[in-house]
Every structure is written in C-alpha cells, then in structure tokens.
A and B are shown apart, each in its own frame.
Chain A
Amino acid sequence: MGDEKKVDVAANAAAFLEQDEVHEPMHDKNLWAARMHRDAAARAVPEWEELRKIASQIKEHTLTHLPDYLREFENNALKRGAKVYWARDAAEHNQHVWDILQEKNIRAVIKSKSMLQEECGMTAFLEKRGITVTESDLGERIQQLDDQPPSHIVMPAIHKTPEDVAQLFARSIGTDPGNTDPHYLTEAMRNDARKRFLEAGAGMTGANFAIAETGSFVVCTNEGNADIGAAVPPVHIASIGIEKLLPKVSDLGIFIRMLSRSALGTLATQYTSHFSGPRRGGELHIILTDNGRSRRLGMPDFWTSLKCIRCGACMNTCPVYRRSGGLAYGATYSGPIGIILDPTFDESRYSELPYHSSLCGSCTEVCPVKIDISDQILKWRKVMAAKKYLPVSRRLAFGAAGRIFEHPQLFRSAESMASGALRFTPHFLLYNKVLNPWGRHRELPHFAGQTFREWYLQYRAKNNDHGEQHT
C-alpha cells in the first residue's frame, strides 16, 4: 500500500465534476435530500442533541475500557457457541476466512456489505484463491460488477445514474440496456442473487454493533441480504472491527435510534438483526479484527475517530464530497470521515486528502457521535505539513507568505507593489504560479484605489473629526 502513489483527490474530483452535466448535479441532489431527510428525522426526536452527547460518551467509555469489553464479548460469544478468532491486520483476517472456507471445502460465498472486509481487501484475496465471492447488497453488487470500490459507506453506487446501472447490468447479467427503471433493474438483480444465495457455502457479514454483555452483534440492512446470507448457507462468518463494541443491550436503544436517522433520515433500517451464537443447524465464526485500530486509539488527536458508527451523515452533508464523488478519494473510506481515517492506513498516499475540505464544519455538527471531524482534518494538515508531505511549491508559497506577514514593512510593499489589476491578491496566492487557478471560474477581484490603511491615516489626520463622512 505504501508503494502506491499519492491520491490526487482534487484532480479526481475535477474529473468527476467535469465529466458531464448529469452525474455531479444528481449526486449532489440525492445526497442533499438524504441530509434533509436526516434533519427532519432528527427534529422529530426531542432529545436528539442529548442523544448525541450520550452516544458519544458511551463510545468513548467503551473505547477507553476496550480490553475489558473485548474479553467480555469474547466470553459471552464463546458461551453462545460461536467460534472467535482474532486478527491483528488485514492479512490475518483474510487468512482466517480462507482457513475456515478451506476446512469446510467451501468454494462460493455470499456477502453483505462490510466496510471492514473492504478495508482488508478480502474479496480480491479470496478470488485469487478460486473462491466465488458475490456481494448481495444491491449497491455493492453494482460496484463489484463494475470493478469499483464503494463510493459511499451506505449508498455504494450513489455516484451512478440509472442509465449507468442499466448499461452495466446489460453487460453483466443480460438485462435490456434501454430499460433504466430502478424497479426492473432491482428485480433483475434479485433474481440473479437468489441462486447465488442458495449456492453459497458461507454467508459473510460485518457488524454495526457488538454487545459485550451478551456476546451478540447487530447487522443493519434495508434489503435483508445479511439475514439471507446468515440464514441460508450453513456457515456464517462475521468480520467485526474491535471498535464496534458497546457495553450493554440497552445501549442499542440509543444507537439504533440514531443510526438510520443520521444515515438516510429513516426511522431505522428495514432489518435490524441480532446474532447471539450460531443459528439452529448452523455455524458462526467471528473474526475480531484490529487492522490499525489499536494504533489509532493511541493517537491523542485522532482516537475519537474510532467512535464512528459508519452512518455516512458526514458524507451526505459535505459540500465537497457531494461534488467530488466518493471514488475521488481513492480509498476505502471517502468523505470527511475518510479524510481522517485513511491517513492512519497510509500517510503518504492519503496526504492530500486533508486539503480536500473547505473546513466548513458541517460534518462535525451532523455526526451522531460528535466526532470533531473538521478539527481533525485541520490537525491532519498539521501532520502533513510537519512531515513535509505538502508539495514543495506550496511549502515555498506559504514560506514566502509567512515572511511577508511577519514583517509589516514587507507586507505594505507587497500590498502596494505594481499597479492596476493585480496589486495584492486574495490571500497572496495569485502571486504564485502554481497556485493561481483562481481565474478559471472566477473573475479577479477589483483592487481598491486606496487601502483601508491609507484611508485611515488620512481620516485620523483630520483630527479625529467623528462627524466626517467618507465615500
């Protein structure tokens, strides 16, 4: 991963924006609608802001007592008859899955959406070993057929138009390329998936929450696909990030109320499923996975990002994400939460991500568990600058600016330098050739004939005549 080159998120976003007049406006409109639905759903809960505080505190409590809760969860899950595995990283996680499949001689798995399995690159790992892996969440399946990662945590194919999906399905499952009706396309995928559920030797899921008190875990879907995967094949494998723990069953009352309201503005997902040990006649394998989480826990500025419940509200509200598309981030996690998570996996590769934000702060306010996302984005910029990941040209520009702002005389001469249109530029940036794309979509500001300072000196020279008016 460290060898791959830096993600140029600004260029990727520009490509998404400029591809045509359809994709970006649709993307923006649909995600904004989700944000509006979220607002309405949150408004209907009088204790919403109090719930955010409590949810945040429960998560912080759990994370700062994590070893105890992990042991409690493991004990209870074992008592219920589940098999529990531990994985330090993606490689160990994938190896566990592979070992389980080999032992059972399983050649095909059906999986529901799991960001952790994405993070681990599990599907590619299994496919290389001859396992047929089928995504069962419709959006994930679309992305799988198009050989793309999910572009959104809860709406993986939200960047695609129905026309895109119709073309894709026509190529991959033989639908009518001219029929773009989502009902028709969904039905076609339902029928294609049905046989795959029945052929699969194992169903794989992630988990939204894991409950220490009972050794249970909860999976939320709208399609019921996780439930089919867990109920039909004989083996259920669940990948659970160690940060998913909650202490008690009653905590779910708070988190389930917030998750889907934050995500899509619905009162809950259609299915909120609780697995406590293997089902009758089945096996349950749980892989508790670290993959960088313990290290993140030790980062004083960034550990609270582990509170994330993957609702995607920060993505829906982010004006930058809405115009960029999730794929622009070149990472498992996109949008504001991605900006603060991805560098923990690879600082160099994702060093430009923290700059792909206007720092408007909406993500922080919308977050149901009160992660200070916007502040963490700024803190990541400090890390990137201190570690010299900033491009040299930008570093030089800011160096020069820093010197100008340090010395009032230099500043004044820079201000009055030259004449006409380009005297002093918005935040000095237009002086720098590398940083001057201001004018592509914007007229340059008109510079005043007289600076405020010049006016002020004249004004005060008139003996503080307070009654004097100026034009």
Chain B
Amino acid sequence: MKVGLFIPCYVDAIYPEAGIATLELLERLGLEVVYPLNQTCCGQPMANEGDQQHSAAAEQLFVDNFREFEYIIGPAGSCVKHVRHHLDAIPQDPDVLHVRQRTYELVEFLHDILQVESFPWAYFRYKVGLHNSCSSIRGLNIALPSEIMGTPFNKTARLLQMVEGLELVPMDRPDECCGFGGTFCVTDEAVSASMGLDKVHDYVRNDAEFIVSPDMSCLMHQQGIARKAGIRMKFLHVAQVLNGGPF
C-alpha cells in the first residue's frame, strides 16, 4: 500500500523526530511511504481564524500534493481534523473530497485501518501521561469524549499499552484542553498559558515522567510552559514511543 506522508509545518521545523518516527513506523509495518516535497501547510491556522480567503491557496496546494494517494497519513490530530472536517475554503471537487476522506491521523490509521496488534520492537519503561488532543478526541473520535455517555474507548491508550514496560498514569482531567488552540495561544495568551500550566500540574500530580501525545502542537505549548515554570517534564510524540525512537 502506497501512502502519502503529511508532515505539518511545525513538525517539519521543530519536531522532525516525530516525522522520522512516523515514517519509520509505517515502513516497518510494510507500507510504501512517500513524502510529497511541495507540501507546506494544510491551511488550518488561517481557517481557524475564519480567514477563508487566505486558507484557500494552502488548501488547494494540500489537495494537489496528496490527491494521488490511497491514504494520507499525518502525525497530527488537529491538522488532520482540519482536512477532514473543515477543508472547505475551496470548491469541493472529487479530488478534494477524496483527500478529505482519506486523510488519517496516525493513531486512528494504525488502530482502525491497519489494526496493528503489537509493536514488538518498542520498549519504554516509564510512567506516561497521555494527552489526546481535543481535535483527536472530539474531531477524530480517537477516544470517547468524557462528556459523552457510553462505553469508554481510547485508541491511543490501547496502542501505547502494547508497548512493553510502558505504564499509563491516570489524570485528574484526562481530556481537558491544554489551551494551545492554534492562534488562540497567542491571541489569548493569559488564558492559554493558565490552561497549559494547569495541564502540566495535572501530570506532575500524577507522577508522569513522560507526556505522550498524537499532537506535537499541544506538546509544543505545554513544553514551553513547563520549561518557563521550571518543571522538568519530557514530551514525546506517540510515534516515537510506538517506533522505539528516535528520541
């Protein structure tokens, strides 16, 4: 199976190791992975501001880059959520619809499409606090949102539990938003930072050693806050843990 690898702009520049881990992991699982070199951004930052005009070009470029693939996989819930649910600044032709339907966040792809049952190469002997991003939970159904009544499920947790040695710690507010929210983190800096600090304290209270997430954007924000507050906490993308590195 040939899949297109979508590496969001901030992963490309700041967390390349998350991208590397994703690519290596998908190749280990037997996929042919192609990273289209002309990709930039899915258009989410502008679209989240409501700026359809300026997100249109980025969206069109995204579709052009990925329309040939059977699946498009990105290690970033919020970007994938944008593509799946909100990539609507351009006319909805068959290519656009194909790309929107076939773009998967890494965890849901591993869990729902590949239905991976083990990661024999991975070993991680730490206490892990899991941060499923809001986009992944409420936009991509990666876990049952705590607001919804029903049988709980958590795809990320299920995958992480396949990793030898890994211990998931409970959280006081497991799916409380960390306050990143894209541009929100700078336009509403005080509230965003307060939410982030509360989130980091939740991990600390529950003795987590590593924070693992399918969304590095949330972790970028939380990491910045932890560092500023002098809290020693390590942050990893879920792909790094499932792939056994690079760390």
Interface positions of A (Cβ within 8 A of B) = 10, 13-14, 17-18, 24, 28, 32, 39, 42-43, 45, 48-49, 317, 319-320, 323-324, 354-362, 364-366, 374, 378, 380-386, 390, 394-395, 398-399, 401-408, 411, 415, 423-424, 426-429, 435-438, 440-448, 450-457, 459, 466, 469-471
Q: Pick the contact of A445: B40, B187, B188, B224 (CB < 8 A).
A: B224
Residues of B within 8 A of A451 (CB): 12-13, 16
Residues of A within 8 A of B57 (CB): 402-403, 405-406
At the interface, yes or no: B19 with Cβ under 8 Å from chain A? yes
Contacts A360-B134, A411-B40, A471-B246 given; indicate if A381 touches B48 (C-beta within 8 A).
yes
Residues of A within 8 A of B188 (CB): 10, 13, 320, 355-356, 358
Q: Pick the contact of A424: B13, B183, B194 (CB < 8 A).
A: B13
Please, how many angstroms separate the alpha-carbon atoms of A407 and B39 in the complex? 9
Residues of B within 8 A of A14 (CB): 189-191
Nearest-neighbour CB distance to chain B for A406, whole angstroms, equals: 4
Residues of A within 8 A of B187 (CB): 10, 355, 394, 435
**CB under 8 Å from chain A, chain B span 150-189:** 150, 173, 175-177, 179-189
What mask results when residues 13 to 25 of chain B are scored 1 for a CB within 8 Å of chain A, else 0? Answer: 1111101100110
What mask results when residues 215 to 247 of chain B are scored 1 for a CB within 8 Å of chain A, else 0? Answer: 001001101110110000000000000000110
Residues of A within 8 A of B17 (CB): 448
Query: Are B49's CB and A42's CB within 8 A?
Result: no
Residues of A within 8 A of B122 (CB): none
Interface positions of B (Cβ within 8 A of A) = 7, 9-17, 19-20, 23-24, 27, 35, 37-41, 43, 45-46, 48-55, 57-58, 61, 86, 134, 137-139, 145-150, 173, 175-177, 179-198, 217, 220-221, 223-225, 227-228, 245-246
Please, how many angstroms separate the alpha-carbon atoms of A24 and B24 in the complex? 45
Query: Are B48's CB and A319's CB within 8 A?
Result: no
Of chain A, the residue at the smallest CB distance from B59 is A405
Residues of A within 8 A of B150 (CB): 49
Contacts A361-B138, A383-B50, A426-B217 given; indicate if A446 touches B14 (C-beta within 8 A).
yes
Contacts A356-B188, A408-B38, A451-B13 given; indicate if A445 touches B223 (C-beta within 8 A).
yes
Please, how many angstroms separate the alpha-carbon atoms of A355 and B48 in the complex? 9
Residues of B within 8 A of A380 (CB): 50
Query: Are A411's CB and B9's CB within 8 A?
Result: yes
